[in-house]
A and B are shown apart, each in its own frame.
Chain A
Amino acid sequence: MPGFRLFLVILVSAALIAADARFEKLTLVRSTLATGLAPVYWLGNAPSRFGDWFGGLFISRDDLQRENEELKTRMLILERRALKYAALASENNELRRLLNSAEVLDDRVIVGEVVGISPDPYSHEIVINKGEGDGVTVGQAVLDAEGLMGQVVQASQFTSRVLLVSDSSHAVPVEVIRNGLRAILLGSGEADELDLVYVPDTADIREGDILVSSGLGGRFPRGYPVAEVSEITKESGEPFVTIRTTPKAQLNQSRMVLVVFQPETREEEPVPETSASDEEEAR
């Protein structure tokens, strides 16, 4: 009897695995079940929230005041920068209008908190506490204060799953901010290293160059910093140089993240590794 049941569930499992991994038919089932599992995510995050709360009980008034002062100073500096930015943005749009091209709108963002990371040590994914209920959809870019972190690959009602740029199945189209040189940034499976691939060894690229998202894949918004070139190795005889870069975003530290809503929403089929597979086919 158990043998028959085992046979039955193995058949069902095989069908499910095929439907899920090959044809991606089960997005709805997955997001429904994930919504049902929201309490588990909540409980899983409870200890660290409790720790924060407990730590908060024992902060002295002086510390708080000092932090408050620091934050106010910082806000002043950033506000001054934002003022300048607003003027520049309007000037930029003015110029674009003169050139008869479309105006650039500012991206809208919502702030989310990291509530979990992938239990699989070989995949770089995080879970954030914003889901379909907040308007998050598959394919949106996720940033932290320093740079691009990854993209939403699965959204349930209250949480969504973000594939980080360092995952080995992830690729971002980027350009060098200094001269606009385009390349593809692949995840390496290490949280502190990304590989810039297919750069010819005559290309103008140096250590310390900042790479920003080029927006060419149509998935990531343009102009967010992604990584900084840390090491360039030229090997004679090889057509391409080996370039290692460090991600700008604090991939394994950030707790607060920003989910970007691009102003012009494109309707695309939600395929998680679109940017990766597209780029690979395009070569």
Chain B
Amino acid sequence: MLSVISYPLFALSVILSLVLSISLFPVDWFEYRPEWLGLMVFYWTFRAPAQFGVIMAWCLGLLLDILESTPLGVNAMGMALIAFLVLTIHQRLRMYPLPQLCLMVFLLLGINQMLVHFVKQLVGAESSGFSYLWPALTSALLWPVISSLLDHINRKLG
């Protein structure tokens, strides 16, 4: 946990992750696009559990719903769930070595994807096997880079 966090960095990282979730990714590889906003929610709740929590994550998820034009509340619920799970286990998360942390990222984002997928199916989307879990995997692989980068900037600015 960092003692100080930089709010401008928080705002910037969130805006950037929103932009990244609608652009800058090859169309053919859409299935593998990391869940950028999920990563941000995980990172900020993990680093600053006192400041960021369920409600904030929910609001961010709502914005993602608009961008992805999913029914309002689907991604919001998923993001809130990620934040909640991080808050519940964050004492243990802090002890984990990096590979295990990556695994946790995969699990939590995977749970988020499953929830989103489940609700989408309920409101009538077409089924597509387990390929909806790819973003969780790519996000977990990106986690070491993203977290160390944000940690670095946080220390500089904080």
Distance A168 CA – B70 CA, assembled complex (angstroms): 16
Distance A45 CA – B22 CA, assembled complex (angstroms): 9
Q: Which 8 A-B pairs have the closest CB atoms?
A: A16-B73, A44-B23, A13-B73, A121-B30, A13-B77, A21-B123, A21-B71, A5-B54
Distance A37 CA – B53 CA, assembled complex (angstroms): 22
Across-interface contacts of A9 in B (CB, < 8 A): 54-55, 58, 76-77, 80
Distance A3 CA – B55 CA, assembled complex (angstroms): 11
Given A10-B77, A43-B19, A122-B126, CB of A17 within 8 Å of CB of B66: no
Which has the most chain A C-beta neighbours within 10 Å: B80, B83, B125? B80
Across-interface contacts of A120 in B (CB, < 8 A): 30, 68-70
Is A217 an interface residue, CB under 8 A from the partner?
A: no
Distance A168 CA – B49 CA, assembled complex (angstroms): 42
Of chain A, the residue at the smallest CB distance from B29 is: A121
Of chain B, the residue at the smallest CB distance from A40 is: B18
- Min CB distance B50 to A, Å, is 12
Question: Number of A interface residues, CB 8 Å?
Answer: 44
Interface code B65-86, partner A: CB below 8 Å = 1, 0 otherwise?
0111111111011001101100
Is A183 an interface residue, CB under 8 A from the partner?
A: no
Of chain B, the residue at the smallest CB distance from A154 is: B69
Beta-carbon contacts under 8 Å, B113-137 to A: 119, 123-126, 128
- Min CB distance B69 to A, Å, is 6
Interface of B is mostly: helix
Of chain B, the residue at the smallest CB distance from A4 is: B54
Is B91 an interface residue, CB under 8 A from the partner?
A: no
Question: Number of B interface residues, CB 8 Å?
Answer: 40
List 8 A–B pairs whose Cβ atoms lie within 8 Å, in order of A's numbering.
Answer: A2-B84, A6-B54, A12-B58, A47-B23, A119-B21, A120-B68, A122-B125, A122-B126
A13 and B74 contact, CB distance less than 8 A: yes
Interface of A is mostly: helix
Across-interface contacts of B15 in A (CB, < 8 A): 39-40, 43
Distance A195 CA – B60 CA, assembled complex (angstroms): 38
Is B6 an interface residue, CB under 8 A from the partner?
A: no
A10 and B80 contact, CB distance less than 8 A: yes
Distance A125 CA – B66 CA, assembled complex (angstroms): 13
Across-interface contacts of B126 in A (CB, < 8 A): 122, 168, 189
A2 and B54 contact, CB distance less than 8 A: yes
A5 and B55 contact, CB distance less than 8 A: yes
Q: Which of A43, A119, A252 contacts B68 (CB 8 A)?
A: A119
Beta-carbon contacts under 8 Å, B1-46 to A: 15, 18-19, 21-24, 27, 30-31, 33
Distance A19 CA – B76 CA, assembled complex (angstroms): 15
B24 and A47 contact, CB distance less than 8 A: yes
Which has the most chain B C-beta neighbours within 10 Å: A15, A43, A48? A43
B58 and A40 contact, CB distance less than 8 A: no
Of chain B, the residue at the smallest CB distance from A161 is: B69
Across-interface contacts of B124 in A (CB, < 8 A): 21
